[in-house]
């Protein structure tokens, strides 16, 4: 069976649908031709029509990545809230209750704070929530490296100033000897 010839109607449809931003496969379905035929038609135009969607895909990927980062940050905040609520329970009055005995009686006691076993369980919950929160959104650099750099720059500047005023580097710092007589 011979391939169906490409018609002017096919060419016009490809050009129109391409201008609408349709993908090669969408155009192929719309004009009931194969994707390779649509590619042949698109390549015959001057300049050739392309179906390079890399910029759109890249933009969509950036948007999705940003959305996921925002969702992770929001969930990390929820985990931090859980940890903080659990920490409040560490020293809060705690109600203990039980059903028991042959008559299935109810008894309750208000303790000043949770038992050691309950405090361990609370600490475990806090640790898990904080750990997961930090894994979702690691803390930013606290600026310590930048502070060290600023202090280093300051010290180097002071040394240069000393050398300019005194004709040489500053003397090395020596620790005073401990007084053994005391």
User: β-strand 105-111 against 94-100: which pairing, if any?
Assistant: antiparallel
- The full set of domain ranges for the chain reads 8-51, 70-136
Query: What's the pLDDT at 173?
Result: 64
pTM metric for this prediction:
0.49
Beta strands in the chain (DSSP E): 94-100, 105-111
Q: What is the spatial distance between Cα 39 and Cα 13, in angstroms, rounded to a whole number?
A: 13
The predicted-structure confidence for 59-103, as pLDDT tens digits, reads as follows 889 999 999 999 999 999 999 999 999 999 999 999 999 998 888
The predicted-structure confidence for 20-73, as pLDDT tens digits, reads as follows 989 899 999 999 999 999 999 999 999 999 988 777 788 889 999 999 999 999
Average pLDDT over residues 150-169: 79
């Amino acid at each position: 069976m011979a391939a169906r010839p490409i018609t002017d109607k096919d060419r016009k449809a490809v050009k129109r649908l391409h201008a609408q931003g349709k993908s090669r496969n969408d155009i192929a379905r719309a004009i009931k031709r194969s994707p390779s035929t649509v590619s042949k038609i698109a390549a015959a135009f001057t300049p050739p029509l392309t179906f390079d969607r890399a910029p759109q895909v890249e933009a969509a990927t950036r948007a999705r990545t940003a959305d996921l980062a925002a969702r992770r940050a929001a969930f990390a905040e929820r985990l931090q809230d859980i940890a903080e609520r659990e920490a409040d329970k560490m020293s809060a009055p705690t109600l203990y209750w039980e059903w028991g005995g042959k008559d299935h009686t109810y008894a309750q006691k208000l303790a000043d704070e949770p038992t050691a076993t309950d405090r361990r369980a609370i600490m475990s919950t806090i640790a898990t929530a904080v750990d997961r929160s930090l894994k979702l959104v690691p803390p930013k650099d606290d600026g310590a490296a930048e502070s060290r750099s600023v202090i280093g720059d300051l010290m180097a500047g002071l040394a240069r100033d000393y050398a300019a005023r005194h004709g040489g580097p500053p003397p090395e710092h020596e620790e005073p000897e401990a007084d053994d007589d005391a």
